[in-house]
């Protein structure tokens, strides 16, 4: 709880890529988890994957690790933001997303960013069980 009475809890997820600046892996507010942008990096900040598919899977893995650290599940995602360097890979990205997530798929925005420097960056909002509910953290 902040000094203004807002329910905000920083989530740090061992095993996820290190934040590259002054931000949290995620913030839990109420029953929602807001995950910062995740690229294809390991927990030491080193790049993971050389192909587009490997980098997309690495970014999804980071989202999954962070969701789990907050007691959530990536399949409870309600919004997904994707920043993709090569928009000609949009179809491949869709296929990878379908293989990683279960329906119903989240609301999603995909934005081409040709100068990104990595294949993809993903951010997400995950619905969490209410605090105190069975299995909730």
- What residue segments make up the domains of the chain, in order of their start? 9-127
Kind of pairing between the strands at 9-11 and 26-29 = antiparallel
For residue range 93-103, list pLDDT tens digits in order: 999 999 999 99
**pLDDT score recorded for residue 32:** 97
Q: Which fold has domain 9-127?
A: 60s Ribosomal Protein L30; Chain: A; (3.30.1330)
pLDDT of residue 3: 62
Q: Which residues of the chain have pLDDT under 70?
A: 1-3, 134-137
What's the whole-model pTM score? 0.91
CB 20 within 8 A of CB 117: no
Q: Which residues, 6+ apart, have CB-to-CB distance to 100 below 8 Å? A: 57, 60, 74
Instruction: For residue 31, give both structure tokens.
Output: 């029953």
């Amino acid at each position: 709880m902040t000094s203004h009475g807002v329910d905000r809890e920083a989530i740090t997820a061992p095993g996820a890529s290190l934040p590259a600046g002054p931000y949290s892996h995620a913030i839990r507010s109420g029953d929602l988890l807001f995950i910062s942008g995740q690229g294809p990096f390991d927990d030491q900040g080193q790049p993971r994957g050389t192909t587009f598919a490997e980098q997309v899977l690495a970014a999804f893995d980071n989202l999954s690790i962070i969701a789990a650290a907050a007691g959530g599940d990536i399949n409870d995602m309600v919004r997904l933001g994707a920043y993709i360097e090569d928009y000609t890979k949009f179809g491949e990205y869709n296929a990878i997303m379908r293989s990683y997530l279960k329906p119903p798929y989240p609301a999603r925005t995909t934005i081409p960013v040709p100068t990104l420097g990595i294949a993809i960056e993903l951010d997400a909002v995950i619905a969490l069980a209410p605090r105190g509910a069975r299995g909730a953290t």
